[in-house]
Amino acid sequence: MRTVPRHEFVSPSMRRYAYQDSALPIGHRQTISPPFIVAYMTETIAPRETDRVLEIGTGSGYQAAVLSELVRDVFTIEIVEPLGRAARRRLQRLKYGNVHTRIGDGYKGWAEKAPFDKIIVTCSPEKVPAPLVDQLKEGGRLLIPLGERYQQVFHLFEKKNGRLVQTN
């Protein structure tokens, strides 16, 4: 994480706060996660350099950039079109060549690029979307915050015999 310039993933007016451990606004009523949360999510999925990771909720692209330094490929989906376009440009400008972006409904996953070794979801549904289970490799890990808007809990699952088993 130390090599990813977080200040590049926030607006110029927020750059002085970029390295504080707090969420910062990125527009469209969205925020960039605090560094602690990005580190927690990254560490929890136990990334390997051979992994192909699907991220749901690109936001500014920061989590994808962090992952890109640890895994083979990151596929990231953003539903808010202006955020997705800005993240794509930013990731290209910063030369994160192994990050692939898409604008769309992340809860549908990215079937053409599946299966994935790991899936990180940064937005909170009430239950795990079925397409994500289908697109996760056997033995793969999925980290997702589940719950209502103001009360979410991270859940880590592993796919065993075609089903998700909670591991935390």
- The model's pLDDT over 126-153, given as tens digits with 9 standing for 90+, comes to 889 999 999 999 999 999 998 776 677 8
Reduce the DSSP state of residue 7 to 3 states and report it: helix
pLDDT at 2: 85
- pLDDT average, residue stretch 106-111: 98
pLDDT at 149: 67
What percent of the chain is predicted at pLDDT more than 90? Answer: 90
pTM comes to 0.95
Cα–Cα distance for residue pair 132/28, rounded to 1 Å: 25
Reduce the DSSP state of residue 32 to 3 states and report it: strand
Reduce the DSSP state of residue 164 to 3 states and report it: strand
Q: Give the per-residue SS3 of 54-86.
A: EEECCCCCHHHHHHHCCCCEEEEEECCHHHHHH
pLDDT at 152: 78
Q: What is the DSSP letter of 110?
A: -
Q: Which two tokens stand for residue 116?
A: 């994935």
pLDDT at 147: 78
Helix (H) or strand (E) holding 42: helix 35-44
Residue corresponding to tokens 């640890």: 70
- Domains, the chain, with CATH or none: 23-150 (3.40.50.150)
Catalytic residue positions?
33
pLDDT at 148: 73
* 53-88 residue pLDDT tens: 999 999 999 999 999 999 999 999 999 999 999 999
